[in-house]
Amino acid sequence: MQIQKNISIKQFNTFGVDVKANLFVELKNENFLNELFSSVNEIPNRFILGGGSNVLFTKDFNGIIIKNLLPGIEKIGEDNNFVFIKTGAGVNWHKLVKYSIKNNYWGIENLSLIPGTVGAAPIQNIGAYGQELKNVFHQLETFDLQNNQFKTFAKDECKFGYRDSIFKKEFKNRFLITSVTLKLSKKEDAILTYQPVKEEIDRLKINKPSISQISEIICNIRRSKLPDPNKLGNAGSFFKNPEITEKKYLELKKANNDIKGFKTENNKYKISAGWLIEKCGWKGKRVGDVSSFEKQALVLVNVGKATGKDILDFAESIKEIVKVKFGIELKEEINIV
Ligand SMILES: Cc1cc2nc3c(=O)[nH]c(=O)nc-3n(C[C@H](O)[C@H](O)[C@H](O)COP(=O)(O)OP(=O)(O)OC[C@H]3O[C@@H](n4cnc5c(N)ncnc54)[C@H](O)[C@@H]3O)c2cc1C
């Protein structure tokens, strides 16, 4: 295990922001955790990095970045209906999706092509196309950076919410996730609630889509809507979709009949942050080397050599203008460092 000094992490974040970390280490084997954290005991500033697809670095990182590369996908149990799949936190998320499709294990096909690692998936309870990680989650294993001990978290302990978990709140930066175990279904369990997926299935005249057909449809929709981080720096949705009261929603609906929103379990209305940004005239808008993506206003892109600070300033301007026009406060989905 080699600790590198003063290295650029441009290639390790999908915004392609060029900042330096004064210490950087790749973690490939969990047996080294004790050794690693004993040796960096006196460095208080530590950051666990996966694929860097949900993070914005705004300045050089003064501390140690631990790039999680813990490997392995393993079936650790099963019954008539379910399998339990334990995966190393450093495994690429879509690789796990492909494994589950190959084996006909249902549950994560709707989460196809989400960038990043398996270990980061529980942090914000990744979700897309009618599915969320929490619905297939069993447990995860961690290394506690405060007392250098391993600890397992059951589903309830993770306090999953909309793009949220305990690891974004009171346990932020405290636990390094080493593996995640999912409970996937051996029996067909298609989730076809998302309108564009349904439409595509109808268009293709598929009667009963297979797990691989669903994944393929979702990959195609994603490729047509979202920028590829390998070609255009971005971190997906920059903001969460805000939840507002029914009164506020009806007020907005009266003035804007094209507003997109749906009722949540807690009797609020979740509305599209992309729609709010678009209505403020910021879809496709560019300032310097930062732009809101032309096909999806919620995605901010680095069109050249934008710094993290440039992207943050752009995001602040969006927040301000949405607040003034609609009285709604947007909250970041991505992690700002
Ligand atoms: C084009 C694009 C599309 C996207 N679409 C979606 C989508 O549809 N749905 C969705 O939910 N997200 C989406 N995202 C966001 C992102 O892909 C996910 O949040 C993903 O889970 C981040 O994984 P990562 O490994 O890149 O995490 P990173 O960006 O490396 O880290 C994110 C956070 O998790 C922490 N972290 C990472 N690994 C660990 C670990 N092992 N232990 C403890 N903490 C850790 C980091 O410290 C950081 O705070 C998209 C991003 C892009 C670029």
Give the pLDDT band of residue 39 (cuts 50, 70, 90).
Answer: confident
Residue 292: the pLDDT is 97
Domain contains 213: no
Identified catalytic residue from 30, 109, 243, 333: 333
CA of residue 54 to ligand 1 center, whole Å: 4
User: What would the mean pLDDT of 234-258 be, rounded to a whole number?
Assistant: 94
Same domain, 46 and 59: yes
- Residue range 68-116, pLDDT digits in tens: 999 999 999 999 999 999 999 999 999 999 999 999 999 999 999 999 9
Identified catalytic residue from 109, 112, 163, 215: 163
Same domain, 318 and 254: yes
Domain contains 114: yes
Q: Is 216 a catalytic residue?
A: no
CA dist 328 → 138, 212, 241, 325 (Å): 35, 39, 11, 8
Question: What's the CA gap between 139 and 217, in Å, rounded?
Answer: 29
Identified catalytic residue from 237, 243, 291, 292: 237
Residue 222: the pLDDT is 95
Q: Of 68, 95, 122, which residue constitutes the final position of a domain?
A: 68
Residue 55: the pLDDT is 98
Burial 271-300 (b: 16+ CB within 10 A, else e): bbbbbbbbbbebbebeeebbbbbeebbbbb
Residue 264: the pLDDT is 87
Residue 47 Cα: closest atom of ligand 1: 47
User: Ligand 1: does its nearest atom lie under 6 Å from the Cβ of 280?
Assistant: no
Percentage of residues of the chain with pLDDT beyond 90: 88
Same domain, 60 and 82: no
Q: Is 163 a catalytic residue?
A: yes
Q: Of 68, 95, 112, which residue constitutes the final position of a domain?
A: 68
Give the pLDDT band of residue 301 (cuts 50, 70, 90).
Answer: very high
Same domain, 174 and 77: yes
CA of residue 204 to ligand 1 center, whole Å: 32
- Residue range 12-37, pLDDT digits in tens: 999 999 999 999 999 999 888 888 88
Domain contains 28: yes
Question: What's the CA gap between 264 and 246, in Å, rounded?
Answer: 10
- Residue range 150-163, pLDDT digits in tens: 999 999 999 999 99
Pairing of strands 46-49, 61-68: parallel
Sign of CA dihedral 152, 155, 159, 164: positive
Domain contains 251: yes
Residue 58: the pLDDT is 97
Residue 171: other Cβ atoms inside 10 A: 18
- In CATH, what number is assigned to the domain containing residue 116? 3.30.465.10
The count of structural domains within the chain is: 3
Q: Is 157 a catalytic residue?
A: no
Look up the domain containing 172 and give its range: 73-185
Percentage of residues of the chain with pLDDT beyond 70: 100
Exposed, middle or buried, 52 (CB in 10 Å: 0-12/13-18/19+)?
Answer: buried
CB 115 within 8 A of CB 222: no
Residue 128 Cα: closest atom of ligand 1: 8
CA of residue 245 to ligand 1 center, whole Å: 29
Residue 37: the pLDDT is 82
Average pLDDT, the chain: 95
| CA nearest to 84, candidates 152, 188, 183 | 183
Residue 113: the pLDDT is 97
239, β-bridge pairs: 332
Residue 44: the pLDDT is 83
271, β-bridge pairs: 261
- Residue range 219-230, pLDDT digits in tens: 999 999 999 999
User: Ligand 1: does its nearest atom lie under 6 Å from the Cβ of 117?
Assistant: yes
Residue 100: the pLDDT is 98
Same domain, 122 and 171: yes
Residue 66: the pLDDT is 95
Domain contains 62: yes
Exposed, middle or buried, 187 (CB in 10 Å: 0-12/13-18/19+)?
Answer: exposed
User: Residue 61: what residue type?
Assistant: F
Domain contains 194: no
Same domain, 32 and 87: no
Q: Which residues contact 52 (CB under 8 A, 6 or more apart)?
A: 9, 12, 13, 14, 15, 116
Same domain, 112 and 169: yes
Residue 172, pLDDT above cutoff 90: yes
Domain contains 217: no
Residue 31: the pLDDT is 87
Residue with the two structure tokens 């997906």: 236
CA of residue 134 to ligand 1 center, whole Å: 15
Exposed, middle or buried, 197 (CB in 10 Å: 0-12/13-18/19+)?
Answer: buried
